[in-house]
């Protein structure tokens, strides 16, 4: 497993350093220039869910919360199952 993680990390580094098509800029460049400065530390306390519901996963791999009408994706193996 360590070898697989190492290989994935190496490929991820190559991808992040690879320039976008027709530009000299990479994902790493844009992260360092634009996004890194906006990051904030994680909260000290863990997230506590407001409420929990059981829903059946739809054929489009989503569940819909009725109070906000937003769809949330779910791994395909849960289609038709209660989550």
Give all strands (DSSP E) within the chain, no chain letters: 62-65, 70-73
Any idea where the domains of the chain sit in the sequence? Answer: 2-38, 44-83
Instruction: Evaluate if residue 52 carries a pLDDT over 90.
Output: no
What the block records as the tokens of 35 is 């996004």
Q: Give me the chain's average pLDDT, please.
A: 93
pLDDT per residue as tens digits for the range 31-49 = 999 999 999 999 999 989 8
Q: Supply the pTM of this predicted model.
A: 0.52
- Residue pointed to by tokens 């992260």: 31
What the block records as the tokens of 70 is 């937003």
């Amino acid at each position: 497993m360590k070898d697989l993680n190492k290989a994935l990390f190496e490929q991820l580094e190559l991808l992040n350093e690879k320039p976008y098509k027709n530009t000299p800029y990479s994902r790493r460049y844009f992260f360092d220039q634009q996004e890194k400065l906006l990051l904030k530390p994680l909260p000290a306390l863990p997230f506590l869910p407001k409420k929990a519901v059981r829903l059946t996963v739809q054929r489009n791999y989503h569940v819909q919360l009725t109070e906000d009408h937003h769809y949330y994706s779910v791994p395909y193996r849960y289609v038709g199952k209660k989550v």
